[in-house]
Amino acid sequence: MSDAATAYQGPQRIYSGMQPSGDLHLGNYLGALINWVKLQEEWECVFCAVDLHAITVPQDPKKLASQTREITAAWLAAGVDPDKSIVYAQSSVPAHSELAWILNCTARMGWVERMTQFKDKAGKDSERASVGLFTYPVLQAADILAFKGTHVPVGEDQKQHLELSRDIADRFNRDFDAENFFPQPEPLIQGPGARVMSLKDGTKKMSKSDPSELSRINFIDDADVIAKKIKKAKSDADALPSEVEGLEGRPEARNLVGIYGALAEKTNAEVLAEFGGEGFGKFKPALAELAVEKLSPITQKMRSYMDDPAQIDAVLKKGAEKANAISEPIIKEVREIVGFWNT
């Protein structure tokens, strides 16, 4: 990894999170989760089910806890190892909420107003969006900084939020004369899966908020559903090119090739070396077969974890203890730096 944390002297720590709000999809897997599993082999990693973020849009209180268990089950099934990584739910660690408030007072309105994800999520009726949705990226900065996270593995859509986190860290350090107290967290946006697009429109990102189920492959889709969605994916009439340049102006072709590459751990050039000259009639079944081969074992494991919620709860409980042990002393220092009474 790079010398991202520049003059910051603390330990290098990987931090990332995912919202427990409905089905995990292929974009979450290829953009983030697959990298988490690799990173934990070498680095101290902290992974958070961000349920405080989830409630920035309405959630069913009867389902939220089970959604948190479900996302945890998906991580474990994909290979996140709770003996190597810290895995916990955001709401079980008070540091997030406390630091978020303090950083809301550090972040500037203009910075947050520039966030495109808020504009996308709030849509035309932003007056009706929750205030929490607006300050969502400040809570995200608080997540990372409450752990002094130095590197953040995410998909490309999170780049702007990570830039804001860096600005907030820098501003806090300067406002309070606390040089290098917070690191400048570096995004780790890696691999051909960093930006998985909708199966129905290669110019739109794959997203759980897309009304069309056919636009995404969900973790819990069975083999038949995966095959059907890939068969129905938008493509074009031409054969696949033999060179990467030939994907120019063909967003759907690029996306399907990128998905194949991410699943097979190959570059687009390698995929095209194999399939160049073939039409989608041949490529799509190969992609469907690969997707099923890679995802089915994870889905099966995820289901068996879900059959044992007590085991997942034990993982989250232990994770929360470890997460509190790291974040409490950091928050104590923040309180001293800010000058609160009785710190």
Active site residues: 121, 205, 208
Among the residue ranges 4-12, 60-68, 80-88, 147-155, the one whose residues contact ligand TYM (CB under 6 A): 147-155
β-pairing verdict for 45-49 and 14-18: parallel
* Cβ 126 to ligand TYM shortest distance, Å: 18
To ligand TYM, the closest distance from the beta carbon of 21 in angstroms equals 7
Distances (CA, A) of 126 to 129, 130, 131, 157: 5, 8, 10, 20
Nearer to ligand TYM (CB atom), residue 101 or residue 277: 101
Residues in region 204-263 near ligand TYM by CB under 6 A: 205-206
CA distance 135 to 107: 9
* Residue 273 identity: A
| C-beta nearest to ligand TYM: residue | 31
Binding of ligand TYM at residue 34 (CB under 6 A)?
A: no
Select 28 or 91, whichever has its Cβ closest to ligand TYM: 28
Treating both helix axes as pointing N-terminal to C-terminal, what angle do 159-175 and 131-145 enclose, rounded to 10 degrees? 70
Token pair, residue 183, equals 């690191």
Interface segment toward ligand TYM; rule CB under 6 A; list 73-81, 192-200, 227-235, 295-303: 192-200
Token couple for 64: 């939220």
Q: Which stretch binds ligand TYM (CB under 6 A): 16-24, 38-46, 241-249, 258-266?
A: 16-24
Site for ligand TYM in 125-144 (CB under 6 A): 140, 143-144
Give the SS3 label for residue 321. helix
**Contact in structure between 48 and 319 (CB atoms under 8 Å):** no
In the sheet with 186-188, reading across from the earlier edge strand, the strands are 86-89, 45-49, 14-18, 151-153, 186-188
Residue carrying the six token digits 């073939």? 278
Binding mask 36-75 for ligand TYM (x = CB under 6 A): --------------x--x----------------------
Among 13, 151, 166, 195, which residue interacts with ligand TYM (rule: CB under 6 A)? 195
Q: Which range of residues in 74-82, 148-156, 286-294, 309-317 is near ligand TYM by CB under 6 A? A: 148-156
What are the DSSP E strand ranges found in the chain? 14-18, 45-49, 86-89, 151-153, 186-188
Count of residues of this chain found to bind ligand TYM when the rule CB under 6 A is applied: 26
CA dihedral 107, 31, 144, 19 (to 10 degrees): 80
User: In the complex, what is the shortest distance from the CB of residue 153 to ligand TYM, in angstroms, rounded to a whole number?
Assistant: 7
**Residue type for 280, please?**
F
* Angle subtended at Cα 115 by Cα 131 and Cα 249, rounded to the nearest 5 degrees: 140
- Residue 16 touching ligand TYM (CB under 6 A): yes
Min separation Cβ 196 and ligand TYM, Å = 4
How far apart are CB 281 and ligand TYM at their closest, in Å?
A: 26
Instruction: Return the range that interacts with ligand TYM (CB under 6 A); candidates 78-86, 188-196, 233-241, 314-322.
Output: 188-196
| Pairwise CA distance, residues 281 & 221, whole Å | 22
To ligand TYM, the closest distance from the beta carbon of 107 in angstroms equals: 15
| Residue 178 near residue 145, CB atoms below 8 Å | no
Under the criterion CB under 6 A, does residue 157 sit at the interface with ligand TYM?
A: yes
Burial 155-166 (b: 16+ CB within 10 A, else e): bbbbeebbbbbb
List of residues contacting ligand TYM (CB under 6 A):
15-19, 27-28, 31-32, 50, 53, 140, 143-144, 152, 154-155, 157-158, 161, 193-196, 205-206
